[in-house]
A = this chain, B = another copy of it.
Amino acid sequence: MDRIRRNERMTAMMKLLSGTPNRIFTLNSFCELFGTAKSTMSEDVDLLQQVSKAFDLGEVETVTGAAGGVRYRPTVSREKARVTIGDLCEKLSGTERVLPGGFLYYSDILSTPEIVNRMGEIIATEYYDTQPDFVLTMETKGIPVAFATANALGVPLVIARHSSRVYEGSAVNINYVSGSGSIETMSLSRRAVKENQQALIVDDFLKGGGTAGGMVELMREFNVKVVGMAFVMATATPEKKRISGEKALMTLEVTNDETPVAVVRPAEWLR
Chain A positions near chain B (C-beta within 8 angstroms): 1, 6-8, 10-12, 14-16, 18-20, 23, 33, 47-48, 50-52, 54-55, 57-58, 74, 99-101, 103-105, 107-108, 111-114, 116-117, 139-141, 143-144, 147-148, 150-151, 154-159, 161, 166-169, 189, 191-192
Copies of this chain in the oligomer: 2
Chain B residue at smallest Cβ distance from A99: B169
Query: B7 near A166 (CB under 8 angstroms)?
Result: no
Q: Would you call A147 and B116 a contact (CB within 8 A)?
A: yes
Q: Judging by beta carbons under 8 Å apart, are A55 and B140 in contact?
A: no
- CB-CB < 8 A to A52: which residues of B? 15
For A16, A47, A107, A166, the residue with the greatest tally of chain B CB atoms inside 10 Å of its CB is A107
Query: Contact between A103 and B18 (Cβ–Cβ < 8 Å)?
Result: no
Distance from A235 Cβ to chain B, minimum over Cβ atoms (Å) = 12
Docked-complex contact A99 and B8, CB < 8 angstroms? no
CB distance from A181 to the nearest CB of B (A): 15
A48 with B101, Cβ < 8 A, contacts A107-B168, A144-B147, A158-B111 known: no
Q: Which residues of B lie under 8 Å from residue A16 when comparing CB positions? A: 57
